[in-house]
Amino acid sequence: GAGVSQSPSNKVTEKGKDVELRCDPISGHTALYWYRQSLGQGLEFLIYFQGNSAPDKSGLPSDRFSAERTGGSVSTLTIQRTQQEDSAVYLCASSLHYGYTFGSGTRLTVV
Amino acid sequence: GESVGLHLPTLSVQEGDNSIINCAYSNSASDYFIWYKQESGKGPQFIIDIRSNMDKRQGQRVTVLLNKTVKHLSLQIAATQPGDSAVYFCAEIGGSNDYKLSFGAGTTVTVRA
């Protein structure tokens, strides 16, 4: 596609439920990133995928968070047993070299 | 630890004036810097970038200055317009984080009519 597409744009979930957030990167971009942005804050790195290499998961805040990237394209970020502190905007970006392009994010609200 | 940060969280500018947004970074190994603009409800949008072998780069109405001696980065916006109202982030890459962008907390720019 022309840009990075994320879905859903908004998600409200009950505490304890699992959620899946989807990212569809720009076609041909080999690198894919997930960031989290809490209200009024900067972006916090979560996970990085590059081609067929093992992902860098060093930013995932707990083992409730996981992500996968299928076929080197679409990525899904899964949060299990959601907590209120997980409420944030989850942003995905893709790049070929240094030209990062961000999606509009998924606003997750845990109630 | 290594981090990127902005000097001021908010900046109010009169329409038509020039804006200067500052950023300090601590990783001397960083070799690539980017300024992003984020409007409400949207993801960060690339504005301009600069590599560490440069000290100035100009775009359309924007200029980025890099002072490696004091590890300082600035974004200048000429003739600020209402559409420039947004949160501005600087980000760095390089050194041990050679593929991860590290972001500061952002500066909220408000343009007064």
Cβ–Cβ below 8 Å for A48 and B99: yes
Can you give the pLDDT at residue B105? 78
Mean pLDDT for B2-21 is: 81
Over the stretch B69-96, which tens digit does the pLDDT of each residue have?
999 999 999 999 999 999 999 999 876 6
Residues of A (47-66) whose Cβ lies below 8 Å from B: 48, 50, 56, 59
CB A95 within 8 A of CB A25: no
Q: Which pLDDT tens digit goes with each residue over B24-57?
A: 988 888 889 999 999 998 999 999 999 999 999 9
Q: Cβ(B44)–Cβ(A103) under 8 Å?
A: no
Q: Is B84 helix (H, G, I), strand (E, B) or coil?
A: helix
Q: If you average pLDDT over every residue of chain A, what do you get?
A: 93
DSSP strands (E only) in chain B: 4-6, 10-14, 19-25, 30-38, 45-51, 56-58, 62-67, 72-77, 86-94, 97-103, 107-112
Q: Does A110 touch chain B (CB under 8 A)?
A: no
* Mean pLDDT of successive 10-residue stretches along chain A, which has 111 residues: 90 98 94 91 90 91 95 93 97 86 96 97
pLDDT of B2 strictly over 80: no
Q: Which two tokens stand for residue B32?
A: 């690539």
